[in-house]
A and B are shown apart, each in its own frame.
Chain A
Amino acid sequence: MVESARGMIIASLIGDAFTWLQDPGDAFAGGDISQRIVEHLGMVGISVGAALIPALAAGLAIGHTRRAEFVTVTVANLGRAIPSFAILAFFFPITLKLGLGLSNWPAIIALFFLAIPPILTNAYVGVREVDPDVTEAARGMGMSGWQILRRVELPIAGPLIVAGIRTSAVQVVATATLAALVAGGGLGRFIVDGFALNEYEVVLGGAILVALLAIATEVVFSVIEKVVSPGGLRRKTGFAPVYTDMAQTSEVG
Protein backbone atom coordinates (compact mmCIF):
# COMPACT_ATOMS: atom_id res chain seq x y z
CA MET A 1 0.00 0.00 0.00
CA VAL A 2 2.68 2.43 1.03
CA GLU A 3 4.69 1.58 -2.09
CA SER A 4 1.92 2.68 -4.41
CA ALA A 5 1.41 5.82 -2.38
CA ARG A 6 5.08 6.66 -2.72
CA GLY A 7 4.70 7.01 -6.42
CA MET A 8 2.43 10.00 -6.13
CA ILE A 9 3.62 13.45 -7.05
CA ILE A 10 2.56 16.32 -4.89
CA ALA A 11 0.78 18.10 -7.70
CA SER A 12 -1.47 15.18 -8.38
CA LEU A 13 -2.17 14.83 -4.70
CA ILE A 14 -3.24 18.43 -4.42
CA GLY A 15 -5.35 18.02 -7.55
CA ASP A 16 -6.97 14.92 -6.12
CA ALA A 17 -7.65 16.70 -2.89
CA PHE A 18 -9.49 19.50 -4.60
CA THR A 19 -11.45 17.00 -6.65
CA TRP A 20 -12.41 15.25 -3.48
CA LEU A 21 -13.50 18.52 -1.94
CA GLN A 22 -15.94 19.05 -4.71
CA ASP A 23 -17.21 15.50 -4.81
CA PRO A 24 -16.00 12.78 -2.46
CA GLY A 25 -16.91 10.14 -4.99
CA ASP A 26 -15.58 6.77 -4.05
CA ALA A 27 -13.43 7.92 -1.17
CA PHE A 28 -14.73 6.31 1.93
CA ALA A 29 -12.83 7.96 4.70
CA GLY A 30 -14.45 10.45 6.98
CA GLY A 31 -18.01 10.61 5.88
CA ASP A 32 -20.02 13.60 4.82
CA ILE A 33 -18.03 16.80 4.44
CA SER A 34 -20.66 19.29 5.49
CA GLN A 35 -21.65 17.20 8.45
CA ARG A 36 -18.06 17.12 9.64
CA ILE A 37 -17.70 20.85 9.18
CA VAL A 38 -20.75 21.45 11.29
CA GLU A 39 -19.45 19.04 13.89
CA HIS A 40 -16.10 20.78 13.91
CA LEU A 41 -17.63 24.22 14.27
CA GLY A 42 -19.84 22.86 17.01
CA MET A 43 -16.89 21.74 19.05
CA VAL A 44 -15.15 25.06 18.53
CA GLY A 45 -18.26 27.05 19.35
CA ILE A 46 -19.06 25.23 22.55
CA SER A 47 -15.54 25.18 23.90
CA VAL A 48 -14.66 28.77 23.07
CA GLY A 49 -18.08 29.99 24.09
CA ALA A 50 -17.85 28.31 27.44
CA ALA A 51 -14.27 29.49 27.92
CA LEU A 52 -15.30 33.11 27.41
CA ILE A 53 -17.00 33.29 30.77
CA PRO A 54 -14.21 32.32 33.13
CA ALA A 55 -11.45 33.72 30.95
CA LEU A 56 -12.99 37.16 30.45
CA ALA A 57 -14.14 37.42 34.02
CA ALA A 58 -10.74 36.54 35.38
CA GLY A 59 -8.78 38.61 32.87
CA LEU A 60 -10.88 41.73 33.35
CA ALA A 61 -10.91 41.37 37.11
CA ILE A 62 -7.17 40.91 37.38
CA GLY A 63 -6.46 43.69 34.92
CA HIS A 64 -8.76 46.11 36.67
CA THR A 65 -7.77 45.39 40.24
CA ARG A 66 -4.14 44.57 39.49
CA ARG A 67 -4.29 41.80 42.04
CA ALA A 68 -3.16 38.20 41.61
CA GLU A 69 -1.38 39.12 38.41
CA PHE A 70 0.80 36.04 38.64
CA VAL A 71 -2.27 34.06 37.64
CA THR A 72 -2.16 35.39 34.10
CA VAL A 73 1.47 34.51 33.60
CA THR A 74 0.95 31.07 35.07
CA VAL A 75 -2.10 30.39 32.95
CA ALA A 76 -0.35 31.63 29.84
CA ASN A 77 2.67 29.44 30.46
CA LEU A 78 0.65 26.37 31.38
CA GLY A 79 -1.63 26.88 28.44
CA ARG A 80 1.25 26.94 26.09
CA ALA A 81 3.26 24.22 27.74
CA ILE A 82 0.73 21.47 28.27
CA PRO A 83 0.43 19.35 25.13
CA SER A 84 -3.09 19.41 23.68
CA PHE A 85 -2.95 15.74 22.91
CA ALA A 86 -2.16 15.10 26.55
CA ILE A 87 -5.18 17.03 27.79
CA LEU A 88 -7.34 15.31 25.24
CA ALA A 89 -6.09 11.89 26.20
CA PHE A 90 -6.47 12.75 29.84
CA PHE A 91 -10.15 13.45 29.55
CA PHE A 92 -10.97 10.48 27.35
CA PRO A 93 -10.98 7.83 30.09
CA ILE A 94 -12.69 10.26 32.42
CA THR A 95 -15.58 10.85 30.06
CA LEU A 96 -15.81 7.13 29.51
CA LYS A 97 -16.03 6.64 33.23
CA LEU A 98 -18.71 9.28 33.43
CA GLY A 99 -20.67 7.22 30.99
CA LEU A 100 -20.50 9.70 28.12
CA GLY A 101 -19.37 7.01 25.75
CA LEU A 102 -17.46 7.66 22.56
CA SER A 103 -18.24 11.26 21.81
CA ASN A 104 -16.83 14.68 21.22
CA TRP A 105 -16.88 15.45 24.92
CA PRO A 106 -13.25 14.74 25.75
CA ALA A 107 -12.34 17.03 22.90
CA ILE A 108 -14.71 19.77 23.94
CA ILE A 109 -13.49 19.71 27.51
CA ALA A 110 -9.86 19.72 26.43
CA LEU A 111 -10.50 22.55 23.96
CA PHE A 112 -12.25 24.50 26.67
CA PHE A 113 -9.06 24.54 28.70
CA LEU A 114 -7.01 25.30 25.63
CA ALA A 115 -9.20 28.26 24.74
CA ILE A 116 -8.81 30.03 28.06
CA PRO A 117 -5.22 31.34 28.08
CA PRO A 118 -5.27 33.70 25.05
CA ILE A 119 -8.60 35.20 26.08
CA LEU A 120 -7.55 35.67 29.66
CA THR A 121 -4.16 37.09 28.79
CA ASN A 122 -5.48 39.57 26.28
CA ALA A 123 -8.33 40.70 28.51
CA TYR A 124 -5.82 41.28 31.27
CA VAL A 125 -3.33 43.13 29.10
CA GLY A 126 -6.06 45.10 27.40
CA VAL A 127 -7.46 46.45 30.62
CA ARG A 128 -4.11 46.98 32.20
CA GLU A 129 -2.75 48.95 29.27
CA VAL A 130 -5.46 51.55 29.42
CA ASP A 131 -3.66 54.82 30.01
CA PRO A 132 -3.63 55.36 33.79
CA ASP A 133 -4.21 59.04 33.18
CA VAL A 134 -7.53 58.19 31.59
CA THR A 135 -8.68 56.03 34.48
CA GLU A 136 -7.49 58.60 36.94
CA ALA A 137 -9.47 61.30 35.20
CA ALA A 138 -12.50 59.04 35.29
CA ARG A 139 -12.04 58.41 38.97
CA GLY A 140 -11.63 62.10 39.51
CA MET A 141 -14.94 62.68 37.80
CA GLY A 142 -16.59 60.44 40.32
CA MET A 143 -17.03 57.16 38.46
CA SER A 144 -17.17 54.05 40.57
CA GLY A 145 -14.76 51.20 39.90
CA TRP A 146 -17.47 49.27 38.18
CA GLN A 147 -18.39 52.18 35.96
CA ILE A 148 -14.79 52.74 35.03
CA LEU A 149 -14.52 49.14 33.97
CA ARG A 150 -17.67 49.23 31.95
CA ARG A 151 -17.47 52.67 30.36
CA VAL A 152 -13.77 53.31 30.05
CA GLU A 153 -11.59 50.24 30.27
CA LEU A 154 -13.78 47.80 28.42
CA PRO A 155 -14.36 49.95 25.31
CA ILE A 156 -10.68 50.84 25.11
CA ALA A 157 -9.57 47.27 25.68
CA GLY A 158 -12.24 45.95 23.32
CA PRO A 159 -10.07 45.36 20.24
CA LEU A 160 -7.41 43.57 22.24
CA ILE A 161 -9.99 41.39 23.90
CA VAL A 162 -11.49 40.46 20.55
CA ALA A 163 -7.99 39.76 19.26
CA GLY A 164 -7.53 37.35 22.14
CA ILE A 165 -10.76 35.57 21.33
CA ARG A 166 -9.63 35.43 17.73
CA THR A 167 -6.32 33.83 18.62
CA SER A 168 -8.12 31.40 20.85
CA ALA A 169 -10.68 30.45 18.23
CA VAL A 170 -8.12 29.90 15.49
CA GLN A 171 -6.05 27.76 17.83
CA VAL A 172 -9.06 25.70 18.74
CA VAL A 173 -10.08 25.25 15.12
CA ALA A 174 -6.70 23.74 14.36
CA THR A 175 -6.49 21.63 17.49
CA ALA A 176 -9.99 20.27 17.19
CA THR A 177 -8.62 18.00 14.50
CA LEU A 178 -7.16 15.92 17.29
CA ALA A 179 -10.62 14.96 18.45
CA ALA A 180 -10.57 12.27 15.81
CA LEU A 181 -7.80 10.53 17.71
CA VAL A 182 -10.11 9.84 20.61
CA ALA A 183 -13.01 8.57 18.61
CA GLY A 184 -14.42 12.02 18.11
CA GLY A 185 -15.69 13.68 14.95
CA GLY A 186 -14.99 16.90 13.16
CA LEU A 187 -12.63 17.49 10.26
CA GLY A 188 -9.89 15.48 11.92
CA ARG A 189 -11.81 12.40 10.91
CA PHE A 190 -10.75 12.91 7.30
CA ILE A 191 -7.16 13.08 8.31
CA VAL A 192 -7.18 10.08 10.58
CA ASP A 193 -9.42 7.86 8.48
CA GLY A 194 -7.83 8.93 5.23
CA PHE A 195 -4.46 8.02 6.61
CA ALA A 196 -5.70 4.66 7.80
CA LEU A 197 -7.24 3.88 4.42
CA ASN A 198 -4.35 5.27 2.39
CA GLU A 199 -6.69 7.80 0.81
CA TYR A 200 -4.17 10.60 0.97
CA GLU A 201 -6.22 13.00 -1.08
CA VAL A 202 -8.75 12.85 1.71
CA VAL A 203 -6.05 13.60 4.27
CA LEU A 204 -4.94 16.64 2.32
CA GLY A 205 -8.52 17.62 1.64
CA GLY A 206 -9.28 17.52 5.34
CA ALA A 207 -6.21 19.59 6.10
CA ILE A 208 -7.21 22.15 3.51
CA LEU A 209 -10.66 22.39 5.02
CA VAL A 210 -9.23 22.98 8.47
CA ALA A 211 -6.88 25.61 7.10
CA LEU A 212 -9.73 27.35 5.30
CA LEU A 213 -11.84 27.25 8.42
CA ALA A 214 -8.99 28.72 10.43
CA ILE A 215 -8.52 31.51 7.93
CA ALA A 216 -12.23 32.20 7.85
CA THR A 217 -12.29 32.39 11.64
CA GLU A 218 -9.33 34.76 11.56
CA VAL A 219 -11.08 37.00 9.06
CA VAL A 220 -14.41 37.07 10.86
CA PHE A 221 -12.81 38.05 14.12
CA SER A 222 -10.59 40.62 12.47
CA VAL A 223 -13.70 42.29 11.21
CA ILE A 224 -15.29 42.19 14.65
CA GLU A 225 -12.09 43.62 16.05
CA LYS A 226 -12.26 46.58 13.69
CA VAL A 227 -15.90 47.15 14.46
CA VAL A 228 -15.22 47.15 18.15
CA SER A 229 -12.38 49.65 17.87
CA PRO A 230 -13.39 52.95 19.43
CA GLY A 231 -13.17 55.54 16.64
CA GLY A 232 -10.39 57.62 18.04
CA LEU A 233 -8.24 54.67 18.91
CA ARG A 234 -8.15 52.65 15.72
CA ARG A 235 -5.18 50.39 16.09
CA LYS A 236 -3.60 48.22 13.47
CA THR A 237 -4.98 44.78 13.93
CA GLY A 238 -1.92 42.65 13.97
CA PHE A 239 -1.13 39.60 15.92
CA ALA A 240 -2.68 39.55 19.34
CA PRO A 241 0.26 40.36 21.60
CA VAL A 242 -0.02 37.27 23.71
CA TYR A 243 1.92 37.98 26.85
CA THR A 244 5.17 36.18 26.36
CA ASP A 245 4.53 34.76 22.95
CA MET A 246 5.37 36.66 19.87
CA ALA A 247 4.53 34.03 17.32
CA GLN A 248 1.12 33.78 15.78
CA THR A 249 -0.41 30.97 17.66
CA SER A 250 -2.29 28.56 15.56
CA GLU A 251 -2.17 25.57 17.82
CA VAL A 252 -0.99 22.55 16.07
CA GLY A 253 -0.69 19.86 18.58
Chain B
Amino acid sequence: MKEQPFIRWDWIADHTDEIWARLLEHVQLTALAVGIGLLISLPLAVLAYRRRVFYPPLTWVTGILYTIPSLALFAILVPYTGATSRTTAEIGLVSYTLLILIRNIVAGLDGVAADVKEAARGMGYSPNQLLLRVEIPLALPAIAAGIRIATVTTIGLVTITALLGQGGLGYFILLGLNRVFTTATMLGAVLSALLAILVDRLLILAEQRLTPWSRARAA
Protein backbone atom coordinates (compact mmCIF):
# COMPACT_ATOMS: atom_id res chain seq x y z
CA MET B 1 0.00 0.00 0.00
CA LYS B 2 1.32 3.43 -0.83
CA GLU B 3 2.58 5.23 2.25
CA GLN B 4 0.81 8.54 2.89
CA PRO B 5 3.16 11.45 3.47
CA PHE B 6 2.71 13.01 6.89
CA ILE B 7 1.50 16.32 5.60
CA ARG B 8 -0.11 16.65 2.23
CA TRP B 9 0.82 20.14 1.16
CA ASP B 10 -1.04 19.77 -2.11
CA TRP B 11 -4.27 19.29 -0.24
CA ILE B 12 -3.61 22.47 1.67
CA ALA B 13 -2.87 24.33 -1.54
CA ASP B 14 -6.13 23.07 -3.03
CA HIS B 15 -8.20 24.20 -0.11
CA THR B 16 -6.93 27.71 0.59
CA ASP B 17 -10.38 29.18 -0.01
CA GLU B 18 -11.97 26.99 2.58
CA ILE B 19 -9.12 27.63 4.99
CA TRP B 20 -9.59 31.32 4.62
CA ALA B 21 -13.35 31.03 5.10
CA ARG B 22 -12.90 29.01 8.28
CA LEU B 23 -10.37 31.47 9.58
CA LEU B 24 -12.83 34.29 9.12
CA GLU B 25 -15.54 32.25 10.77
CA HIS B 26 -13.22 31.68 13.69
CA VAL B 27 -12.56 35.37 14.05
CA GLN B 28 -16.25 36.20 13.77
CA LEU B 29 -17.31 33.73 16.43
CA THR B 30 -14.63 35.06 18.75
CA ALA B 31 -15.37 38.72 18.19
CA LEU B 32 -19.08 38.20 18.67
CA ALA B 33 -18.61 36.28 21.89
CA VAL B 34 -16.19 38.76 23.41
CA GLY B 35 -18.27 41.71 22.26
CA ILE B 36 -21.45 40.39 23.79
CA GLY B 37 -19.56 39.27 26.85
CA LEU B 38 -18.21 42.76 27.36
CA LEU B 39 -21.63 44.34 26.95
CA ILE B 40 -23.01 42.08 29.64
CA SER B 41 -19.98 42.16 31.93
CA LEU B 42 -19.40 45.87 32.13
CA PRO B 43 -22.65 46.86 33.83
CA LEU B 44 -22.61 43.74 35.99
CA ALA B 45 -19.07 44.43 37.09
CA VAL B 46 -19.81 48.06 37.93
CA LEU B 47 -22.81 46.88 39.91
CA ALA B 48 -20.71 44.34 41.79
CA TYR B 49 -18.05 46.96 42.41
CA ARG B 50 -20.45 49.51 43.80
CA ARG B 51 -22.66 47.15 45.73
CA ARG B 52 -20.37 44.59 47.25
CA VAL B 53 -23.29 42.39 48.08
CA PHE B 54 -23.66 41.36 44.46
CA TYR B 55 -20.08 40.27 44.02
CA PRO B 56 -20.16 36.85 45.71
CA PRO B 57 -23.28 35.56 43.95
CA LEU B 58 -22.02 36.92 40.65
CA THR B 59 -18.65 35.23 40.95
CA TRP B 60 -20.36 32.13 42.23
CA VAL B 61 -22.62 31.78 39.22
CA THR B 62 -19.96 32.63 36.68
CA GLY B 63 -17.48 30.48 38.56
CA ILE B 64 -19.75 27.50 38.23
CA LEU B 65 -20.14 28.14 34.53
CA TYR B 66 -16.40 28.30 34.23
CA THR B 67 -15.69 25.01 35.94
CA ILE B 68 -18.01 23.09 33.67
CA PRO B 69 -15.74 21.59 31.06
CA SER B 70 -16.50 23.26 27.78
CA LEU B 71 -17.36 19.98 26.16
CA ALA B 72 -20.05 19.43 28.72
CA LEU B 73 -21.48 22.92 28.51
CA PHE B 74 -21.85 22.77 24.77
CA ALA B 75 -23.22 19.25 24.94
CA ILE B 76 -25.82 20.19 27.54
CA LEU B 77 -26.95 23.22 25.59
CA VAL B 78 -27.65 21.19 22.48
CA PRO B 79 -31.02 19.71 23.48
CA TYR B 80 -32.24 23.19 24.27
CA THR B 81 -30.86 25.27 21.48
CA GLY B 82 -30.27 22.84 18.69
CA ALA B 83 -27.29 20.82 17.62
CA THR B 84 -25.72 22.88 14.95
CA SER B 85 -26.91 26.37 15.64
CA ARG B 86 -24.58 29.23 16.10
CA THR B 87 -26.63 30.22 19.13
CA THR B 88 -25.53 27.17 21.04
CA ALA B 89 -21.95 27.98 20.34
CA GLU B 90 -22.31 31.64 21.19
CA ILE B 91 -24.15 31.03 24.45
CA GLY B 92 -21.39 28.74 25.59
CA LEU B 93 -18.65 31.06 24.41
CA VAL B 94 -20.17 34.13 26.00
CA SER B 95 -20.62 32.34 29.31
CA TYR B 96 -16.93 31.68 29.54
CA THR B 97 -15.99 35.24 28.80
CA LEU B 98 -18.24 36.46 31.61
CA LEU B 99 -16.17 35.23 34.50
CA ILE B 100 -12.90 36.44 33.08
CA LEU B 101 -14.26 39.85 32.19
CA ILE B 102 -16.24 40.48 35.36
CA ARG B 103 -13.36 39.45 37.56
CA ASN B 104 -10.85 41.57 35.74
CA ILE B 105 -13.06 44.63 35.54
CA VAL B 106 -13.84 44.51 39.25
CA ALA B 107 -10.20 43.84 40.13
CA GLY B 108 -9.18 46.74 37.94
CA LEU B 109 -11.63 49.09 39.61
CA ASP B 110 -10.57 47.85 43.02
CA GLY B 111 -6.96 48.41 42.12
CA VAL B 112 -7.33 52.12 41.64
CA ALA B 113 -5.33 53.77 44.42
CA ALA B 114 -7.45 54.72 47.37
CA ASP B 115 -5.96 58.18 47.70
CA VAL B 116 -6.67 58.98 44.08
CA LYS B 117 -10.32 58.12 44.64
CA GLU B 118 -10.39 60.04 47.89
CA ALA B 119 -8.79 63.12 46.38
CA ALA B 120 -11.25 63.08 43.50
CA ARG B 121 -14.22 62.71 45.84
CA GLY B 122 -12.81 65.41 48.07
CA MET B 123 -12.55 67.75 45.14
CA GLY B 124 -16.19 67.32 44.35
CA TYR B 125 -16.54 64.55 41.79
CA SER B 126 -19.95 62.92 41.85
CA PRO B 127 -19.98 59.12 41.97
CA ASN B 128 -20.69 58.85 38.25
CA GLN B 129 -18.04 61.37 37.34
CA LEU B 130 -15.65 59.46 39.53
CA LEU B 131 -16.47 56.24 37.72
CA LEU B 132 -16.22 57.63 34.22
CA ARG B 133 -13.30 60.01 34.60
CA VAL B 134 -11.15 58.34 37.21
CA GLU B 135 -11.97 54.76 38.06
CA ILE B 136 -12.59 53.28 34.63
CA PRO B 137 -9.66 55.05 32.93
CA LEU B 138 -7.34 53.87 35.68
CA ALA B 139 -8.81 50.39 35.55
CA LEU B 140 -8.30 50.25 31.81
CA PRO B 141 -5.06 48.25 31.90
CA ALA B 142 -6.74 45.54 33.94
CA ILE B 143 -9.84 45.64 31.77
CA ALA B 144 -7.73 45.44 28.64
CA ALA B 145 -5.84 42.48 30.07
CA GLY B 146 -9.18 40.85 30.82
CA ILE B 147 -10.35 41.39 27.27
CA ARG B 148 -7.14 39.92 25.98
CA ILE B 149 -7.40 36.83 28.16
CA ALA B 150 -11.07 36.40 27.30
CA THR B 151 -10.37 36.73 23.59
CA VAL B 152 -7.54 34.27 23.58
CA THR B 153 -9.48 31.79 25.69
CA THR B 154 -12.43 32.11 23.35
CA ILE B 155 -10.26 31.41 20.32
CA GLY B 156 -9.40 28.14 21.99
CA LEU B 157 -13.00 27.34 22.81
CA VAL B 158 -14.12 28.06 19.28
CA THR B 159 -12.04 25.13 18.12
CA ILE B 160 -14.21 22.91 20.25
CA THR B 161 -17.41 24.26 18.81
CA ALA B 162 -16.42 22.33 15.71
CA LEU B 163 -18.20 19.51 17.43
CA LEU B 164 -21.35 21.54 17.05
CA GLY B 165 -20.81 22.15 13.41
CA GLN B 166 -19.30 25.58 13.97
CA GLY B 167 -15.69 25.75 14.89
CA GLY B 168 -13.82 27.91 12.47
CA LEU B 169 -10.41 26.33 12.26
CA GLY B 170 -11.57 23.57 14.58
CA TYR B 171 -13.41 22.22 11.61
CA PHE B 172 -10.14 20.99 10.17
CA ILE B 173 -9.10 19.41 13.41
CA LEU B 174 -12.34 17.49 13.59
CA LEU B 175 -12.14 16.53 9.96
CA GLY B 176 -8.66 15.20 10.49
CA LEU B 177 -9.62 13.27 13.62
CA ASN B 178 -12.71 11.69 12.11
CA ARG B 179 -10.99 10.54 8.96
CA VAL B 180 -7.54 10.02 10.42
CA PHE B 181 -6.33 12.66 8.02
CA THR B 182 -3.19 14.05 9.58
CA THR B 183 -2.86 17.01 7.25
CA ALA B 184 -6.18 18.46 8.28
CA THR B 185 -5.57 17.86 11.97
CA MET B 186 -2.20 19.53 11.89
CA LEU B 187 -3.49 22.38 9.78
CA GLY B 188 -6.31 23.12 12.17
CA ALA B 189 -4.14 22.76 15.23
CA VAL B 190 -1.28 24.88 14.01
CA LEU B 191 -3.40 27.61 12.47
CA SER B 192 -5.61 28.01 15.53
CA ALA B 193 -2.55 28.17 17.75
CA LEU B 194 -0.95 30.76 15.49
CA LEU B 195 -4.13 32.80 15.41
CA ALA B 196 -4.29 32.82 19.18
CA ILE B 197 -0.66 33.81 19.56
CA LEU B 198 -0.98 36.55 16.96
CA VAL B 199 -4.07 38.03 18.54
CA ASP B 200 -2.41 37.84 21.95
CA ARG B 201 0.59 39.79 20.68
CA LEU B 202 -1.58 42.41 19.00
CA LEU B 203 -3.68 42.94 22.09
CA ILE B 204 -0.59 43.30 24.25
CA LEU B 205 0.58 46.07 21.96
CA ALA B 206 -2.83 47.70 22.16
CA GLU B 207 -2.71 47.50 25.94
CA GLN B 208 0.58 49.30 26.03
CA ARG B 209 -0.83 52.06 23.91
CA LEU B 210 -3.58 52.60 26.43
CA THR B 211 -1.38 53.65 29.30
CA PRO B 212 1.19 56.22 28.26
CA TRP B 213 1.33 57.64 31.74
CA SER B 214 2.59 54.49 33.36
CA ARG B 215 5.65 54.37 31.22
CA ALA B 216 6.73 57.96 31.81
CA ARG B 217 9.29 57.81 34.57
CA ALA B 218 10.62 60.39 37.00
CA ALA B 219 13.36 62.43 35.38
Contacts and interface: CB of A to CB of B under 8 A. Distances in A.
A92 B196 contact: no
B188 A174 contact: no
A253 to B, nearest CB: 4
A89 interface: yes
A90 B183 CA distance: 10
Contacts of B107: 246
A22 interface: no
B189 A177 contact: no
Nearest to B199: A81
A188 B99 contact: no
A3 to B, nearest CB: 9
A88 to B, nearest CB: 8
A85 interface: yes
Nearest to A239: B103
A245 B146 CA distance: 8
Interface string A187-204: 010011011000010011
Interface stretch (A115-123, A156-164, A205-213): A205-213
A82 B199 CA distance: 11
A170 B160 CA distance: 20
B156 interface: yes
A182 interface: yes
Contact of B189 (A87, A203, A210, A245): A87
> SS class of chain A's interface: helix, strand, loop or mixed?
helix
B100 A247 contact: yes
A81 B200 contact: yes
B76 A203 contact: yes
B69 A81 contact: no
B196 to A, nearest CB: 4
A65 interface: no
Given A178-B71, A194-B75, A85 B100 contact: no
A141 interface: no
Given A90-B186, A207-B72, A211-B68, A85 B160 contact: yes
Contacts of A80: 149, 152-153, 200
B197 interface: yes
Interface stretch (B13-21, B44-52, B170-178): B170-178
A86 B157 contact: no
B166 interface: no
Interface residues of A, number: 50
Contacts of A192: 71
Contacts of B67: 174, 211, 214-215, 250, 252
Contacts of B200: 77, 80-81
B159 A181 contact: no
A82 B156 contact: yes
Given A8-B79, A93-B6, A210-B72, A85 B149 contact: no
A242 B50 CA distance: 26
27 contacts: A80-B152, A82-B193, A83-B157, A85-B160, A85-B173, A86-B156, A86-B173, A86-B190, A89-B189, A90-B193, A92-B185, A93-B185, A96-B180, A96-B182, A97-B6, A177-B69, A200-B75, A203-B76, A204-B76, A211-B64, A214-B67, A215-B67, A246-B145, A252-B68, A252-B70, A253-B69, A253-B156
Q: Which 7 A-B pairs have the closest CB atoms?
A: A83-B156, A207-B72, A5-B79, A253-B70, A93-B182, A90-B189, A177-B69
Interface of B: 6, 63-64, 66-73, 75-76, 78-80, 82-83, 96, 99-100, 103-104, 107, 142, 145-146, 149, 152-153, 155-157, 159-160, 163, 170, 173, 176-177, 180, 182, 185-186, 188-190, 192-193, 196-197, 199-200, 204
Interface of A: 2, 5-6, 8, 13, 77-78, 80-87, 89-90, 92-93, 96-97, 174-175, 177-178, 180-182, 188, 191-192, 194-195, 200, 203-204, 206-207, 210-211, 214-215, 244-248, 250, 252-253
Given A191-B69, A210-B72, 6 more contacts: A90-B190, A92-B177, A178-B69, A180-B71, A253-B70, A253-B153
